[in-house]
Structures are given as structure tokens and as C-alpha cells.
Amino acid sequence: MPQVTFQYPAWFLLLCALLGLGYALLLYYREGAFREQAPQLHRILGVVRWVVVTVIAALLLSPLLRRTQTQTQKPVVVLAQDQSESVGAELQGAALAQYKADWERLREALSDDYEVHEFAFGDAVREGVNFEFTDKVSNLSRLMQEVYDRFGTQNLGAIVMATDGIYNQGSSPLYAGVPIAAPVFTVALGDTTPRKDLFIKRVFYNKIAYLGDRFMVQVDAAAVNCAGTQTVLTVSRIEGDQTRTLQSIPISIDQNDFFTTKEVLLEADKTGVQHFRFTLAKVPGERSAVNNTRDIFIDVLDARQKILLLANSPHPDISAIRQTLEGNRNYEVTVAYVGEPGTDVSKFDFVVLHNLPSTAQDISGILSTLDSKRIPRLFIAGMQTSYASLSRVQRLVSAQSTGQQADDVQARVSSQFAAFTLSPELASELPKFSPLTSAFGNFSALPQGQVVLYKRIGRVDTEQPLLVVGETDGIRCGILLGEGLWKWRLFDYMQHNNHQIFDEIVGKTVLYLSQKEDKRKFRVSLEQNLFNENEPVFFSAELYNDNYELINTPDVALSVRNAEGKEFLYTFNKKGNAYTLNAGILPVGNYTFRATTSLNNQVLTYDGRFSVQPIQLEYFATTANHGLLRQLSAQHGGEMVYADHLLTLADKIKQTPTIKPVIYQSTQTTPLIHLKWVFFLLASLLAAEWFLRRYFGAY
């Protein structure tokens, strides 16, 4: 019931009533204008005026109207169904029809007393259950996290999880650490009886290989209840509709719980995404051979950059740089010393010149070759460098030094540098690194140079450059005016137990200097060349005008063809100044694409390729894990039941004492003066009084 409270003592209402009464008596006690026409009217009007004045005076006391609202929140019950392929392989036909009917009856039995939400899970967690069992992976921990994120702050009563207990993505739900306080009831699906089965458990391989390489693939084969049988591991290459056998490896299975590893040597003899298939021959009595085959896709590239570390003499910097660059599979690193026979710098894509040109080695012939071949380079200047020669062979830094004296310098990241991005961790940590050895002299950046790092001498931040990059005559060049990089690498590991900061500054500098600039006006890119069959394929495109300004005025069309020649047509969406396209999920196979647009009456095209590989995880663990479901239910205070007892969960949930509605009470306070009906009541009374007085001639 609403209650009225006052911010002043309640006896003030008596004063309000007396005020209203006095006002009414003053106005109507001796009023005689219409007593002959309506003898009782003055009394009625007096009462009206008394009520109006009393109410207005009372409203000045700031009365408050308090209402108490009661809301009952039903417990939330989550019904979650595993829709992965491993569940669908066991739940079929009449059994599936009966299970679906029981699921519907369970939902209806709970819907009156509980707020029921249905979810399907596998690849992802989504609302609604359709019992199609097409998900390629099982992720039980993601379901637990999703339920907690959605209902963790609500009255979560119970979770019903129907699954076979097999998970092949994410962590174990037992150790996921999701703080769910509600009981978890599990419905055990699938068969826990190990059948006679032969399967390829795992294939270990690098997704990228380089043309001409020979690479190793490790195949783990396993068998259950197949002792005394023989099989053959066949390695094939799939090229369109053609299957070419590469190797055949016999395998003898000598025990029921069998496992073996075979190493297969393959050759990357052509570029593009190569499709290989590993197949185990079916053994007698095996129920299904679906998991006997495993396909892999390897992207063979012909893009490995050859980098030469050319030094004046042996130096620990060379080893530090080499270890960082060799961590990138796109680089093939060679170390050489100037003057050694057989070193042809023209065969390399990028050259690091350590302490060169030196006082003993002019290297003008090498630099002439680099210029003629337009090969980018990085100079590392130390105490053996000839600074007079260095000033002549580059136009990024003015260097005036004899190289006879040295400074110990630390690095400070330039706040104005924007050619590539350096992490905040590098900017804050690099100034603390051990100092480099830099020649004493006058150094300054020329207009074509962009300063990456400045020198810090002692505690003084100078404007002398330490690392400068830039472009001269279309050739990218960099200069590091200090040696001792090996100390940076050791210091980084000593402080952080890794080489992340050192690898970043060296790796990004080399990446920026060595990359070949793409002058094409129309470009299309993919996030990757190899997609899983449950991943959408995303494209992005860029179009530049004659001034190399990014535009997206014309439309861009895309044609995608599979290996059989079937064509899929798309049109890019315009976003910002560029283009994007979500081509959706495509079937497994190899694809080529061509994007087309028109600019200034000129047709521009871009061709590319990508592949979609199958996900076969659901075929390699087919024995249900009901033990995990028992542990999960026990951990959260629930119970495990089998599929034929699904309907018993309604009674079990209703009998659980912790699953109760939650009653919320809230008090709403409203000033009476804000109530519109009070205003209209007073206005109506005053209007009626005025009308009657006017009608009977009082005014």
C-alpha cells in the first residue's frame, strides 16, 4: 500500500487546514450576492476553497508518496545440447526421435516454474537447439564460460548439459575455473564401449614450406582392439581430381592398445597450397574407416628473402642479429666477411654491413653492385668504420668523426617516428638497456632520414641520432651509429627471460628496410591463405588514384572458383576508404579468385588463391567419456543421468532445495507535488468555483 510521509511534523497539517478554513470564511462567510438564487451555494464554494487552499498549503510541506514494489524472479535453468558430429554419429534414427520428444517434454515441464534458456554448443555457443549435429569441434569449457557470462549475476538455478563428454578444443571443464555456483546436471550421450577402430590420431607439420625444401611430417597412428592385424599407411598428393601415391608404409599392429609414430619426408616441388592425404587401410571388423584418413594442406612459398650479414671482422653483434633473423622463416640468413672469395652480394635481397666501409676496406665495388641491383641495406657503424666514407655512400646522416674516441650511449625512441610501430613496452624498456659503443663526433639526421632512436649519453637526452631509416633514389637504407647489440640481447633476456624487445627492434627495422614496396594501384588481401572449413573467408581490398590516395568510389566485383570450376560471385562492401568482404563459409577445397574494378576507364584486376581444409577432430575420439561428466556433476553439486532418463531431471531440479525463486523488493519515492492528477484536481476545483461565481453573478 502507498504511504505518505512528510519532511515536517505532521501537526503542521492542522495549520494548513486552519489556513484553508480562514481563507474560505473570509471569502464566503458574509457573501450574499447569490444567496437568493442558490441559498446553499456559498457553503459549497466555501468547502471547495477550503479544500484547495488546504491541499496547496500541505503540498508546501513536501509530502512524499512511498510505494513498495515486490518482484519475483524465477530461477534460470539452462538446457545445453552438444551438437558436434561425435554426438550425431551415435544419436540417430528412432533413438534421436525419442530423445527430441523427451527434450521437448523436459522443457515444458520446467517452463512453468523456471525461466528456461536453450543453447547449442560445439564450434560456438548459440541460442536454440536444432539437433543437426554438424559442429566440427567440441568445446565444453566455452559453454561453462558463456553461461557464467550471461547468467552469473542472475538467479541461475541449474545447468543441464547433454553431451558425450568428448572435448577437442579448449580446456577441460573440470579445470576451467569458471565460478558457477549452480548445480550442473549432465546427460550422458554416446557409447563408452571401445570398438575395433584404427585411426590417425595426429599429424604434426609446418603449415608453410619453401620451394625446393624437403620437410618432415610426423604421423601418429593408433588402434583399439586390432591386435594381430596388418595395415598400410599410404601417403598421397591430391591435385584436382587426381590422386598420386607418394609412399606406402606397412604397419603391424601387435597389441589392442596400439600406438606408433611414422615420419614421412615430403618435397616442396611446386608453389601454392599443396594437398596431402594420409590413409590407413581398413582392417577386418573395423566399424568405420572415416577416421582412417587425414588431410593436410601446406602452403609452399617462393618468397624467402635472402639476407647477407657482411662484416668487416668477426663480432658478437653478428651472432645476435643472426639468431633474431633466423627466427623468421621468411628469412634465409648468410654470414660472410668482406674480402672472402665467392660472396656475390647481387644474389641477396637485403644486406647488413657491419663496420663497413672500414678504414681497411673501401667496399665501393660492393656498394656499386647494391645500387645497381637496388638492394636495400643497413649500415652498423662502430669503431672500425670509416666515417668519411660512410658520409659519402649514404644521404641519411651527416657523420663527422675520426672514430678514435667512443661514447657509451643508450637509446631513446623518437616520438615523431611513424614509419612503423614500436610497442609501448619497447619505448619504456629500451632506454634502460646496456649502452652501445658509439664513435665520438658530430652526427645529425639529413632531411631524407627518419630518426627511430636518439642517443642518450649518461642522463642527458641528446638530439644526435642513433638509428635512422629512409629512402634514397627508391632504395631503402638504415644506419645504426653504434655497436654492441649483443649486450642488448643479453640484457633483454636477463631482465625479461626472453628476447622479445631486442627481436622487435631488430626484426621490425629489417622488415621495414627489406620489404619491397607494392606500387600496384589495386590490391586484394586475405588474412591467411589456408582456412578451416568452419571459418568465414574475409577479403579486404585497396584502390589508389594517380596520387596514391586511398579511394573506394568504384565498385569492386569478386569471382571465386573452386577446383571443379564452379563460380561464386560477390561484390565488396565499402568501409571507410577501403573495401571489405565476408565470403562466408566455403566447402573444403582449393580456390582461385579474381577481383575486378575500373578506374579512369582502365580495368584493374587482382588474382589470388586460397584453400579450405577439413576439420576432422570429431572422428578421432569416438569413445564417450562419461567419467568426466560424473566428475563435473559432482564438482557442481548436480547428478549425471543417461539419455533414457532425461525426463527425471525435472523432478530432480524441483527437489533441489537451492533452486528457489528470488524475491526482490524496491521502494519508490515520489513527491506528491509531481503527481499530475493532483494538479488537474486542484485546477478543476478552482475552475468550477470560478464558473459558478461567474454564472450566478458574483463577478
Vertex 475 angle, CA 470 and 477, to 5°: 40
- Write out the H or E segment, with its range, that includes residue 558: strand 557-562
For residue 222 the three cell numbers come to: 593408433
The CATH superfamily holding the domain 522-613 is: Macroglobulin (MG2) domain (2.60.40.1930)
305-514 with 522-613: one CATH topology?
no
SS3 content of the chain, % helix, strand, coil (to 5): 25, 40, 35
For residue 77 the three cell numbers come to: 535453468
Averaged pLDDT in 10-residue chunks for the chain of 699 residues:
77 85 80 67 82 86 81 88 85 89 93 92 90 86 91 90 87 86 91 80 83 86 88 89 89 90 90 86 81 82 84 95 89 91 90 93 91 93 93 92 91 89 91 94 92 93 94 90 95 93 94 77 82 87 84 93 90 91 89 92 88 73 84 92 91 90 80 84 85 71
Cα–Cα dist 456/244, whole Å = 63
Cα 183 to Cα 158, 406, 635, distances in angstroms = 5, 71, 9
Tell which residue, 90, 87, 169, has the closest CA to residue 129: 87
**Which are the contacts of 35, defined by CB distance < 8 A and separation ≥ 6?**
41, 42
**Which are the contacts of 296, defined by CB distance < 8 A and separation ≥ 6?**
203, 205, 217, 275, 276, 277, 278, 613
The phi-psi region of residue 240 (left if phi > 0; otherwise alpha if psi is between -120 and 50; otherwise beta) is left
The position carrying cell 626472453 is 498
Tell which residue, 249, 168, 260, has the closest CA to residue 223: 260
Q: Contact at 8 Å (CB) between 473 and 462? A: no
Vertex 358 angle, CA 355 and 359, to 5°: 145
**Which are the contacts of 120, defined by CB distance < 8 A and separation ≥ 6?**
80, 81, 82, 83, 126, 127, 128, 129, 130, 135
For residue 635 the three cell numbers come to: 564438482
Give residue limits of the domains in the chain.
Answer: 3-69+669-695, 75-193+623-654, 202-301, 305-514, 522-613
* Strands 567-571 and 573-575, bridge-based pairing: unpaired
**pTM of the model as a whole:** 0.51
Q: What is the torsion angle, in degrees rounded to the nearest 10, for the CA atoms of residue 396, residue 398, residue 400 and residue 406?
A: -50
Tell which residue, 275, 279, 278, has the closest CA to residue 238: 275
For residue 611 the three cell numbers come to: 584453400
Question: Could you give the strand order of the β-sheet that contains 272-280, starting from the edge strand earlier in sequence?
Answer: 208-210, 293-301, 272-280, 229-239, 242-253
Fill in the amino acid letter for 658: T
Q: Contact at 8 Å (CB) between 49 and 31? A: no
Query: pLDDT value at position 38?
Result: 67
Tell which residue, 487, 492, 500, has the closest CA to residue 438: 487
Fold that domain 75-193+623-654 belongs to in CATH:
Rossmann fold (3.40.50)
* Strands 475-480 and 377-380, bridge-based pairing: parallel
Distance of CA 86 to the CA centre of its chain: 27
Tell which residue, 125, 129, 181, has the closest CA to residue 156: 181
Query: pLDDT value at position 699?
Result: 54
Q: What is the torsion angle, in degrees rounded to the nearest 10, for the CA atoms of residue 84, residue 89, residue 90 and residue 96?
A: 80
Alpha helices in 327-397 (DSSP H): 364-372, 387-392
The CATH class that applies to domain 305-514 reads alpha beta
202-301 is a CATH 2.60.40.10 domain: yes
**Which are the contacts of 149, defined by CB distance < 8 A and separation ≥ 6?**
none
Query: pLDDT value at position 573?
Result: 93
User: What is the b/e burial string over 342-379, where b = at least 16 CB atoms within 10 angstroms of the residue's CB?
Assistant: eeebeebbbbbbbbbbbeebebeebbeebeeeebbbbb
